[in-house]
Amino acid sequence: MHLPSRLLKLRQRFGIAAPRVAVRSEVAWYLRWVGLILVLGCSAALAAWMYDAGRRFAGFDRSEVEQQLADTRRALEAARSELERVRTVANVADSTLSIERSAQVKLTQQIRGMEQESARLREELAIFESMLSAEQRASNPLSINRFTVVPDVLPGEYRYRLLLLLAPGSRRERDFQGRLELVVSLTEGGKNATLTFSESGDPSASAFRLAFRHFHRVEGVFRVDPKAKVDSVQVRVYEGTSDQARAAQSASPG
């Protein structure tokens, strides 16, 4: 009973009813990847060719655009070079203009200084020519000219200027040696007062000492109480140690 069943099983395995067997050859995995990469590369190249062909068919030529882009870049480089050249020229021009402006400013200052010096010399020449008459030269060769008193920057400060001149006809063997004194008349608190500024009152004030041969310019500053009002200022010139003034002149602050 067991024998027929075994025969039946053998017929099912090797007979007509037996399952089919397929014989296939085994392919290495790296060959599969190489083939896949080749297929993808061919597909990408075909797609790029079809895209480029489509653009050319639509009127867009990539090579022409690249040529235009190259021309544009060359033009841009040329424009940049020209811009740098123009900037260099502009910087040189600015430097030259700055130098010319500085020279012009200096020249203008020199001209102004020369004009002021010329005006001062003309003024002194006029003083020399028309200062004294013959009688005055004989009686008193020393004279005070251009005596002015003006308020200065700070309250209570006054600046004075004057020109001392010895007559050209006077004969002196040595320089004039002397001192200067200022007598200030003022009103303070409703009362009149007098202040005297001299070398004895201020030993450090060298402006009060005099030593000159022909003429001498004097300029200085004196100070009073800012609340006081200066009415007039008299300048006196003494020679040597004498107490008798050789010349005197008054002026009001202007």
Q: In this predicted model, what pLDDT tens digit does every residue of 90-132 receive, in sequence order?
A: 888 888 888 888 888 888 888 888 888 887 777 766 666 555 4
Question: How would residue 207 be classed by pLDDT, with cut points 50, 70 and 90?
Answer: low
Is the model's pLDDT at 151 over the cut of 90? Answer: yes
pLDDT of 70 reads 85
Is the model's pLDDT at 182 over the cut of 90? Answer: yes
Q: In this predicted model, what pLDDT tens digit does every residue of 215-234 receive, in sequence order?
A: 888 888 999 999 999 999 99
Q: What is the three-state SS of the chain?
A: CHHHHHHHHHHHHHCCCCCCCCCCCCCCHHHHHHHHHHHHHHHHHHHHHHHHHHHHHCCCCHHHHHHHHHHHHHHHHHHHHHHHHHHHHHHHHHHHHHHHHHHHHHHHHHHHHHHHHHHHHHHHHHHHHHCCCHHHHHHCCEEEEEEEEEECCCCCEEEEEEEEEECCCCCCCCCEEEEEEEEEEEEECCEEEEEEEECCCCCCCHHHEEEECCEEEEEEEEECCCCCEEEEEEEEEEECCCCCEEEEEEECCC
pLDDT of 135 reads 45
